[in-house]
Amino acid sequence: MKILWRCHVCNDIHLGNKAPEVCPTCGTRNAFVLSDMNEAIGIMGKNHPVIDTKQNVVTAWKQFSDQSPTIRLTDKIDEIELLSKGVLENLKNKGQRYCPCRITTGDRQMDLNLICPCNFLRQSVFKETGECWCGLFIKRDVK
Amino acid sequence: MSEKRLIWFHGRECPHCRKLAPMVDQFEAESGIKLERLEVWHNEENATFMRSLAGSIAPACGGDLGVPAFYNEITGKAICGQVDMEKLVAWARG
């Protein structure tokens, strides 16, 4: 069944069976979360606000986590707080919500992999430990 | 010629770096060895320097540059992530 998906970075809307891996507008990977008609209508034709507050960042992370059968957001509130502050600092200083535990290369294409939630599913540390590099997202079967 | 350093690359908003800080303090107090602490997200000069060491540091961080990362200028050895005291001492001693 075709359903609506929303890129939590730039609010692109996609209708399809699967979420696109890479957002065609902003280039972010693994950024699509489940959406619905009401949300899509609310976004279309409007200047949608950028996700540039702590509350909106955490909401986007929760949506990303809720729509995944395999990963969840950490329950460590202090780490969520610190990391959301970090990605907002990076948005302000570097122009994107980069992971505060990685470091940009200066190559835009490569750095798109560092926008949180990053492409951690492919990273060796996630395969070995069941956590993204920051410990923000965790495999559901890992305690 | 400048003196070879033991460097700790860290990020101000990295939770692992915060958790490691007391252990690094303890290491310095017990060993008498001082680490050079270089913050990489708010200091571009430090970030550029870290990138120049990517060939040594990235493999230790699982393929990409990340913090916390430790680089020994004497041995060229890097360790990365949530390390324990034993690993830190071994890295410092080369």
Domain extent listing, chain A? 3-43, 54-139
pLDDT at A26: 77
- Provide mean pLDDT across the span A81-109: 91
A133 interfacial to chain B (CB closer than 8 Å): yes
Q: In CATH terms, is domain A54-139 a member of 3.40.50.2000?
A: no
CA distance A77 to A81: 6
Cα(A93)–Cα(A84) distance, rounded to whole angstroms? Answer: 14
pLDDT digits (tens, 9 = 90+) for A16-46: 999 998 888 877 788 888 999 998 988 887 7
The predicted pLDDT at position A143 comes to 64
From CA A115, how far away is CA A96, in angstroms rounded?
7
CA nearest to A77 within chain B: B15
- Is B79 an 8 Å CB contact of chain A? no
Amino acid, res. A19: A
Q: Distance between CA A96 and CA A108 in Å, rounded?
A: 10
| Residue A92 near chain B (CB below 8 Å) | no
pLDDT tens digits for B45-56? 999 999 999 999
Instruction: Tell me yes or no: is domain A3-43 CATH 2.40.40.
Output: no
Name residue, tokens 């997202």. Answer: A137
Give residue B70's pLDDT.
98
CA distance A132 to A134: 5
- Per-residue pLDDT for B29 more than 70? yes
Within an 8 Å CB–CB cutoff, is residue A74 touching chain B? no
Predicted pLDDT at B90: 96
Q: Is the separation of the CB atoms in B38 and B46 below 8 Å? A: yes
Going by the DSSP 8-state scheme, the letter that residue B63 receives in this structure is T
Strand partners, A13: A6
Mean pLDDT, residues B10-26: 95
Chain A: closest CA distance from residue B64 (Å):
8
Q: Is the dihedral of CA A140, A98, B45, B13 positive or negative?
A: negative
Task: Please state the ipTM of this predicted complex.
Answer: 0.86
Look at domain B6-93 and name its CATH class.
Answer: alpha beta
- Candidates A89, A124, A134; nearest CB to B62: A124
pLDDT confidence of residue A30? 80
Strand partners, B7: B36, B71
Average pLDDT for residues B16-34, to the nearest whole number?
Answer: 95
Secondary structure (H, E, C), chain A: CCEEEEECCCCCEEEECCCCCECCCCCCECCEEECCHHHHHHHCCCCCCCCCCHHHHHHHHHHHHHCCCCEEECCCHHHHHHHHHHHHHHHHHHCCCECCCECCCCCHHHHHHHECCCCHHHCHHHHHHCECCCCCEEECCCC
Distance from C-alpha of A4 to C-alpha of A12, rounded to nearest angstrom: 10
> What does pTM read for this prediction?
0.83
Report DSSP letters for B33-59, one per residue.
PPPEEEESSS-HHHHHHHHHTHHHHHH
